[in-house]
Amino acid sequence: MSINTEINRLINFAIQQNLMEKSDTYYAANRLIDLLNVAEFIPEEVNETLETATPILENMLNYAAVEDLIENTVNEHDLFDTRIMDCVMPRSSEVIHRFKNDYNQSPQLATDNYYKLSIASNYIRKTRIDKNIIWQTSTEYGDLDLTINLSKPEKDPRDIAKAKTVKASGYPKCLLCRENEGYAGHANHPARETHRLIPLNFRGNEWFLQYSPYTYYNEHCIVLNKNHIPMKIDRNTFENIFDFITEFPHYFVGSNADLPIVGGSILSHDHYQGGHYTFAMAKAPIEKTYEFDGFPEVKAGRVKWPMSTIRLQSKNRQQLMDLCEKILAKWRGYTDETVDILAETDGTPHNTITPIGRRRGEEYEFDLVLRNNRTTEEHPLGLFHPHAEVHHIKKENIGLIEVMGLAVLPARLKDEMAHVKDNLLKNVDDISNIEDITKHADWYKNIRNKYNDINDSNVDEIIKTEIGHVFSEVLSHAGVYKRDEKGQAAFDKFVKSVSVD
């Protein structure tokens, strides 16, 4: 196909996806022919319907590489195809206007259309995300979600070399800053020209709504502070969560903890994550009810979950917020050496909370997950962090997403599990001498001992199931109160202490 045809196809796609009006055709076309160094635009009739713009963009990128408009690398492609899509994007003010009009009909209509726009614009690279390997594993805590993350392509050596020559500018300060909206990007920073933010207001404070470009679950959104300030769990966090799920009752939202090891990958910018998905944690039942003195309108209980979680439910905002704040304050300074919980070491704090909020009809439900980030000689990466015996599957921090029951696993596992599968089918007894999978040797032996018949029809399911069981163990390691008699008694002891002023 000619580049003129591809321009016509892209404009047709953009009109179908409501990115632009038909009346904007020549404006968009002029931007595209200028970007692609084409002499003129000739309208053509296009009759096709595409799920994403990827097939068109691939042809345009090939053309750009042949014409020496870009270098033929992944990063150059990503920077350039974002510039292409920006030519057919609505302005930020128009996106906000549409969102507000949709919201007046229903909050869900507003987020539905905003999410569709984020996919149509290729801001969410759905074609890449669809490559992720996704499954569920049944455990005693419900069906845990797992994904092997394949959506981030490998760096090209040419991109790596170019990145070293880019002078650090400090702008934007991080990947979450509002200044990313419309930012062209460079070798060390992704292009965000198709990025569109929705402004939010939490009690007079400016925040923004966006979707994660990596969408680990349905409508995976990020709620970010206008200001580049560090993560901090306090009463404002609980109030903001309450405001958000009031405004978007079909979404949950939560915050990563605000300390290293137990926090997320970005602690420097205050933000939350939410979405339209029900994780195993949200389905987990309360196994023991609690009562907190002075909070008669708040139902409370201990959740049957590997990570130590107090669930609070109420229609009364004041009591719910007051109790969240009281539990946090008590936990910040709480020590119980009988179960290895220390509030601080030489003045360095260890205790914090991962809070999650959702709606249950008219009631508001908050899960407060107790976290501790202390390290020991035996567990230098964290006592309440995945221990060494599970690092062959996951050694990264247990952030909000994992806390709720979704394991985001490294891409290396795809090839490693293919190799494990091959050896299982060959009935190999020991893989400890096979370099790329020796880390899985003990786990491999356990699988062979557990299953009498491993064959072509069941091997994939066996491997996925056993990875899921490892993830369940990972969550147990991250739980501050272990799920044995001693641990649960210590959990109850802490809860009782909350009512003691």
Phi-psi region of 245 (alpha: psi -120 to 50; beta: other; left: phi over 0): alpha
Distance CA 394, CA 413 (A): 10
Distance CA 136, CA 437 (A): 23
Residue found under tokens 């994992």: 402
Distance CA 272, CA 257 (A): 10
For residue 379, the cross-strand partners are: none
Residue found under tokens 């200028």: 34
> How remote is the C-alpha of 52 from its chain's centroid?
22
| 102 CB neighbour count, 10 Å cutoff | 17
At 477 the three-state DSSP class reads: helix
Residue found under tokens 């567990």: 379
Torsion angle (degrees, nearest 10) of CA 61, 66, 70, 73: 70
Quick one: which H or E segment has residue 300? Answer: strand 299-303
Q: φ and ψ at 374, to 5 degrees?
A: -70, 155
Longest dimension (CA), the chain: 78
Q: Residue type for 215, please?
A: T
Q: What is the pLDDT along the chain (501 residues), one digit of tens a residue?
A: 699 999 999 999 999 999 999 999 999 999 999 999 999 999 999 999 999 999 999 999 999 999 999 999 999 999 999 999 999 999 999 999 999 999 999 999 999 999 999 999 999 999 999 999 999 999 999 999 999 999 876 655 665 566 556 666 789 999 999 999 999 999 889 999 999 999 999 999 999 999 999 899 999 999 999 999 999 999 999 999 999 999 999 999 999 999 999 988 889 999 999 999 999 999 999 999 999 999 999 999 999 999 999 999 999 999 999 999 999 999 999 999 999 999 999 999 999 999 999 999 999 999 999 999 999 999 999 999 999 999 999 999 999 999 999 999 999 999 999 999 999 999 999 999 999 999 999 999 999 999 999 999 999 999 999 999 999 999 999 999 999 999 999 999 999 999 876
For residue 406, the cross-strand partners are: 145
Contact (Cβ atoms closer than 8 angstroms) between residue 120 and residue 95: no
Distance CA 152, CA 104 (A): 36
DSSP-assigned states of every residue in 291-315: --TT-TT-EEEEESSSS-EEEEEES
Per-residue exposure over 26-50, b if at least 16 CB sit within 10 Å of its own CB, e if not: eebbeebbebbebeebeeeeeeeee
